[in-house]
Structure 1
């Protein structure tokens, strides 16, 4: 049994899909697919540490080498436990509703004032001011030999 098989066993033990398992340890789903795929031989150290940080009840020695048991304690059955939980609250004494009226919780209560109050309208006015016509007083031309010439219009 290699490490990929042990990772699959952890997923089965935790009753998680690959997507849920990836999200729980904080990696992309593609990382799980890559890790469990045929082309990859060994997952990254970061992947193993994230897995161990999240599921610290899983023996790191067992995960890396396959020696010992999954949880470090006595052998744990990896088949999911099937318990008969009642489907409806009235059948379950733990979640009986404690005497609350369900229809009471579903009443629609009108709001006293609207949440979105209308805002004041802001008016902008653009004023264009006339400027007197401008006249050219001087033109300078710079040359690449660091000289320049100045031209002034005749009056």
Structure 2
């Protein structure tokens, strides 16, 4: 049996780790905002579909950790390969953390392995 209160705390930890709001997290995993709100408030228990959407959208979250608190978050076995496959997500989380510090981004340059780059200016 899942301890609903403990699950809620772990879900909130995931949301905070990725720098998401409840509504942006809901959008990323493909559920309604009210679903997140109801789970975080303890009104509803998470469905299997909800848990699977979290796991497929955020590979650093381990099933047993999310459900039972056993294991670790972020998962070290998934995080390294996931960052190598999706460097844009690492950049995005860095950018989000910088935005939270009330700094303005002046310019972002992304360099690719073939020597090309993209320049984004504010």
Question: TM class by shorter-chain length?
Answer: 0.5 to 0.7
Equivalent of 1:56 in 56, 59, 62: 59
Equivalent of 2:106 in 88, 94, 115: 88
Q: CA deviation at 1:39?
A: 2.6
Q: How many residues align?
A: 88
1:13 counterpart = 2:31: no
Q: Quick one: distance in 2 between partners of 1:30 and 1:15?
A: 19
Maintained 8 Å contact 2:61/2:74: yes
Alignment of 1:68-147 (within 5 A): 68-73=71-76, 87-89=105-107, 94=109
Q: Please, which runs of 5 or more residues in structure 1 have no aligned partner?
A: 75-79, 99-155
Using the size of structure 1 for normalisation, the TM-score is: 0.48
Using the size of structure 2 for normalisation, the TM-score is: 0.60
Q: CA deviation at 1:54?
A: 0.6
Q: CA deviation at 1:47?
A: 0.4
Maintained 8 Å contact 2:60/2:76: no
Q: Please, which runs of 5 or more residues in structure 2 have no aligned partner?
A: 78-92, 111-116, 118-122
Misfit runs of 4+, over 6 Å: none
User: Comparing both chains, which one has the higher relative contact order based on Cα–Cα distances under 8 Å and sequence gaps of 6 or more?
Assistant: 2
RMSD: 3.0
User: More helix by proportion, 1 or 2?
Assistant: 2
